[in-house]
């Protein structure tokens, strides 16, 4: 063994997951150790019968090399004690099912582990179950469906509205069950161009829509007893908002309109902690924070590329955005500096069309792209943990347009018409005290 391989260093091993804690005492280990060797040490200290793979972080960044290389790269002395935080490794996502559609998939929302809502360019909203059965086909839009959202199934928050869909026909339709079938309860009208995004607030009382008309509108989720706006109702005679085959759908009028974006607003989401706050992104390269109760734009953050999607994490309190320059950007809405991007993640080879935070982690994030891949990120590293390619030749090379992550399921779809369903290991959680990224 040469001198470099014999060199040693003292390390401290720390874990935030209590079930994996080891005694807090310095250990002397060879500097040549990498992740695999360190993982063996942790497994030995824990006395685990079945080995568990771990990743290691130094100063909040993943160790992707030997300890010796890290010390050299950062000009650190081997005489110091190096603190390594270790976390259970995430297993690669595995495609477990694929459901075919006749047209492009524009949007996906996981309502439950057994109900997947899909919007398509054929104008139909479909609900699939986990047994590969299409249990509902909802026809009411006159043009392509661009967005869908699922209302809460929590009995305390339950609403008559189960699903919302927005369309190029300039309407958003609320769907609910009547006589064992899902039917339109009302059409939210007022936008003058395509409805590109829709989101329901955590309390399940209101929703917002974002449109290519450059506005965001704020609505009550409640079903009206009668059409709310005679002027909007009169517009039903126009080709884009006519009644579907003679079926009279009640009109819902917006509570308020949020104006400020220049050009199309592509995406919108609620702040899970402050329900009056809404975040949006659009063609004007801006991420905007809105107070929907006051109807004002309270903050604007700028970058140099079109924003295609936004998602907010209650765990990290960060906003993730997907962009036309093939990047994912992270923003801190609490920051007073509205021009600083907290982190930029680049690995995709096409537009990043959709982003989704993991439901139980402050660090895990997924992105879908026109390059037909899904990438899973841990934001403590600038390189993706995994790149998920299409399992079928039919889907290979086809643009992905939509993504949703719910518990142990990661769903994506797009140009090929396939709803790709992936299993991810759900034990990767940071715990209830994880609030900082």
Averaged pLDDT for residues 324-328: 96
The residue ranking higher by pLDDT, 1 or 276, is 276
Inform me whether the pLDDT recorded for 5 exceeds 70: no
* Percent of all residues in the chain with a pLDDT value above 70, rounded to a whole number: 91
Question: pLDDT digit string (tens) for 171-224?
Answer: 999 999 887 789 999 999 999 999 999 999 999 999 999 999 999 999 999 999
- Residue 247 — pLDDT band, cuts 50, 70, 90? low
Averaged pLDDT for residues 356-363: 92
Tokens of 38: 């360190």
pLDDT confidence of residue 178: 81
pLDDT confidence of residue 154: 74
The residue ranking higher by pLDDT, 316 or 91, is 316
Averaged pLDDT for residues 304-321: 96
Question: Largest Cα–Cα distance in the chain?
Answer: 86
Average pLDDT over the chain reads: 89
pTM, two decimals, is 0.87
Question: pLDDT digit string (tens) for 265-274?
Answer: 999 999 998 8
Most confident of 3-7, 44-48, 426-430: 44-48
Sheet bearing 27-30, strands edge to edge: 27-30, 8-14, 82-88, 54-58, 61-62
- Residue 419 — pLDDT band, cuts 50, 70, 90? very high
Q: Which of 114-128, 383-397, 419-433 has the lowest mean pLDDT?
A: 419-433
- Residue 430 — pLDDT band, cuts 50, 70, 90? low
For 316, list phi and psi in degrees, rounded to 5: -90, -15
Q: With beta carbons less than 8 A apart as the criterion, state whether 253 and 186 touch.
A: no
pLDDT confidence of residue 16: 83
Tokens of 7: 């060199």
- Residue 144 — pLDDT band, cuts 50, 70, 90? very high
Averaged pLDDT for residues 231-258: 66
pLDDT confidence of residue 183: 93
Distances (CA, A) of 412 to 59, 73, 294, 378: 33, 38, 35, 19
pLDDT confidence of residue 108: 98
pLDDT confidence of residue 426: 52
pLDDT confidence of residue 433: 37
pLDDT confidence of residue 34: 95
pLDDT confidence of residue 91: 84
pLDDT confidence of residue 299: 93
pLDDT confidence of residue 1: 44
* Percent of all residues in the chain with a pLDDT value above 90, rounded to a whole number: 74
């Amino acid at each position: 063994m040469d001198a470099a391989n014999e060199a040693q260093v003292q390390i401290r091993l720390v874990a935030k997951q209590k079930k994996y804690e080891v005694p807090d005492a310095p250990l002397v280990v060879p500097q040549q150790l990498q992740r695999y060797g360190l993982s063996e040490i942790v497994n030995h200290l824990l006395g685990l019968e079945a080995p568990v793979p771990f990743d290691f972080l130094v100063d909040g960044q993943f160790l992707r090399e030997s300890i010796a290389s890290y010390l050299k790269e950062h000009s650190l002395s081997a005489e110091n004690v190096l603190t390594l935080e270790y976390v259970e490794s995430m297993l690669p996502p595995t495609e477990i099912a694929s459901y075919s559609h006749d047209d492009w998939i524009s949007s996906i929302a996981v309502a439950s582990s057994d109900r997947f809502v899909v919007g398509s360019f054929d104008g139909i909203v479909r609900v699939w179950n986990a047994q590969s059965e299409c249990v509902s086909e909802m026809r009411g839009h006159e043009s392509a469906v661009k967005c869908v959202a699922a209302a809460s199934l929590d009995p305390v928050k339950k609403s008559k509205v189960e699903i919302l869909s927005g369309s190029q026909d300039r309407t958003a339709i609320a769907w609910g069950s009547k006589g064992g079938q899902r039917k339109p309860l009302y059409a939210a009208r007022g936008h003058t161009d395509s409805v590109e995004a829709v989101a329901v607030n955590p309390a399940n009382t209101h929703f917002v829509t974002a449109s290519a008309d450059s506005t965001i509108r704020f609505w009550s989720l409640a079903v009206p007893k009668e059409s709310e706006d005679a002027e909007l109702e009169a517009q039903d005679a126009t080709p884009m908002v006519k009644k579907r085959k003679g079926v009279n759908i009640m009109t819902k009028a917006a509570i308020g309109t949020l104006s400020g974006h220049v050009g199309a607003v592509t995406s919108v989401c609620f702040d899970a902690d402050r329900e009056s706050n809404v975040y949006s992104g659009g063609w004007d390269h801006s991420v905007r924070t809105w107070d929907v109760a006051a109807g004002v734009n309270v903050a604007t953050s700028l970058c140099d590329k079109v924003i295609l999607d936004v998602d907010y994490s209650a765990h990290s309190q960060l906003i993730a955005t997907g962009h036309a320059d093939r990047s994912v950007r992270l923003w801190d809405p609490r920051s007073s500096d509205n021009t600083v991007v907290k982190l930029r993640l680049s690995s995709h080879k096409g537009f990043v069309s959709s982003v989704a935070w993991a439901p139980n982690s402050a660090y895990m994030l997924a992105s879908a792209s026109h390059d037909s891949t899904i990438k899973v990120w841990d934001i403590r590293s600038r390189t993706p943990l995994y790149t998920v390619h299409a399992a079928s030749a039919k889907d290979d090379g086809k643009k992905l347009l939509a993504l949703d992550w719910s518990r142990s399921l990661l769903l994506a779809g797009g140009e090929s018409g396939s709803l790709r369903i992936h299993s991810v290991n759900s034990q990767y959680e940071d715990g209830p005290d994880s609030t900082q990224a």
